[in-house]
Chains A and B, each alone.
Chain A
Amino acid sequence: MPPMIEIRGLRVVLPPATVALYGVDLTVAAGEFVVIIGRSGAGKTTFLRSINRLVEPTAGSVHVAGRAVTGADPAALRQVRRQIGMIFQQFNLVRRASVLENVLAGRLGYVPPVPSLLGRFPARDRAFARECLAQVGLAEFAERRADTLSGGEQQRVAIARALAQEPSVILGDEPTASLDPALTGSIMGILKRINQESGLTLVVSQHQLETGLEYGTRIVGFQAGRICFDGPPEKVTASVVDAIYGDGEPA
């Protein structure tokens, strides 16, 4: 089976001249739950945002579900982005819109574009959006304004929006960093369930090492723009933790 995500020599230089990633290679098989760990500034966010080209890679290649992300023209890029759901630390919901409208945004890559600009979505897509909301336990919140929900609920709406894309992959950029510990477990639990029940491939960054080790099937550690560890959670020893969270000097 071909890999779900294939990244080769990914190099990102952020303007004006900050090297965020130095030629990273990573291959992720379908159904993996990859947790990315590392200090802030190690390149986790840049790495995740390069996978769907919210950040433009300087060099290297990214393929997702057999399609090229790097080098894709705008239409092809939109096609492959549909396959890649993404959730964020700040949830990034449209705060003044209803919960259902936020989830419907996940259908934008599929629905006829002109009616969508007028806020009109086919009945089938509306029904599917409600199903996605039900999957995160928020069916009864559909008509509420997004900013009336708590942080944990907003992140669940964001997960429903990602699910509405019928994705092959979900990327999570520190999805629990703005939530308290109890909600962290609830959000990571939902992601775990999606991973196990639907076989979705997950790549999620985590600032809390213990949480990452508890939920991930594979841990990837970043250090100063490079991958410094890649293996199962049980291989994350004290010296590995030191290498990831240390000051970058060889031990």
Chain B
Amino acid sequence: MSRSRATLLTALVILGLAAWDTGADPVRFARGIPWMLDFVRRMIPPDLAVLPAALEGALKTVEIAVLGTAASAGLAVPLGFLSARNVVPRAVFYPARAVLNFLRSIDTLVYALLFVAAVGLGPFPGVLAVVAYTTTSLAKLYSETIEGIDPGPADAITATGATRLQVLRFGVLPQVLPLFLSYILYRLESNIRAATILGFVGAGGIGFYLQTYLRMIDYPAASTVLMVTVAMVMVVDFASSRLRARLV
């Protein structure tokens, strides 16, 4: 009892410190409500003249996410096997896992800043950023899937005199493929959201328009872009979840 009370007390102290340090203040928030309502009021009606630009931005964003996810899906396969405990010796597994964990701690947006500096503005650094993050994150998911397989079929294939590659192809791949596809679609959904923000740092897509109109204080135009963004995310989520439901 005293131990759980101590835990609760510690948690409250930490939360209190965090609230004090970040200036979290309900009164200040309440005072801001009229300003938010004003913000919303100024966004209505949306300026549909910018709709073609917003749609073009949305298409770019989808392209960035789809291309980046597809490239990662392939690149992550060898990395996933190389960091699966039951496939490679420890001498390979531990370094591979360490590298993946390190790279995965860097977010897509941070990668985008790096790639914009390296190859210039536009959607291409966005694609590279999506690939950099998604490859490592899919590799981690792949390797965990590979570690969870039933070893029986792989044993049976090994016993036929098959090579290691044949064992992977016939004993392991059929077990993991449906899950791999499901993870790829899940990453695609997340990448659509991530790619929306990429435009803020100059890496192309619909985020660029959103940021531009907000800076120009053109709220009606910004609200059109916002609505297109919401519609885009919802359509991709819906399509992807339908596909995923059919895989399992």
Contact = CB atoms under 8 A, between A and B. Distances in A.
Contacts of A107: 160
Interface string A101-142: 000011111000100110000000000000000000000000
Interface in B156-203: 156-163, 165-166, 169-171, 174-175, 178
Given A81-B161, A94-B175, A96-B175, A113 B156 contact: no
B56 interface: no
B85 to A, nearest CB: 14
Contacts of B153: 92-95
B145 to A, nearest CB: 14
B160 A106 contact: yes
A78 B163 CA distance: 7
A94 B170 contact: yes
Contacts of A165: 160-161
A82 B175 CA distance: 24
Contacts of B159: 52, 54, 81, 84-86
B88 to A, nearest CB: 15
A154 B112 CA distance: 51
Interface in B2-38: none
Q: How large is the interface on B (under 10, 10 to 19, 20 to 34, 35 or more residues)?
A: 10 to 19
B160 A82 contact: yes
Nearest to A89: B152
B155 interface: yes
Contacts of B157: 94, 105, 108
Nearest to A84: B159
Contact of A108 (B155, B170, B178): B170
Contacts of B163: 78, 108, 113
A44 interface: no
Most buried by A among B158, B162, B178: B162
B160 A54 contact: no
A158 B152 CA distance: 12
A33 interface: no
Contact of A78 (B161, B170, B175): B161
B152 A97 contact: no
Contacts of B158: 54, 81
A54 B167 CA distance: 13
A88 interface: yes
B173 to A, nearest CB: 9
B174 A96 contact: yes
Contact of A161 (B156, B166, B174): B156
B161 to A, nearest CB: 3
Most buried by B among A84, A93, A106: A106
Given A79-B161, A165-B161, A86 B166 contact: no
A233 to B, nearest CB: 27
Contact of B165 (A82, A88, A117): A117
B155 A92 contact: yes
Interface of A: 52, 54, 78-82, 84-86, 88, 90-97, 105-109, 113, 116-117, 158, 161, 165
28 contacts: A52-B159, A54-B155, A78-B162, A78-B163, A80-B161, A81-B159, A82-B160, A85-B159, A86-B156, A88-B152, A92-B152, A94-B174, A94-B175, A95-B175, A97-B174, A105-B162, A106-B160, A108-B157, A108-B160, A108-B166, A108-B170, A109-B160, A109-B161, A113-B163, A113-B165, A117-B169, A161-B160, A165-B161
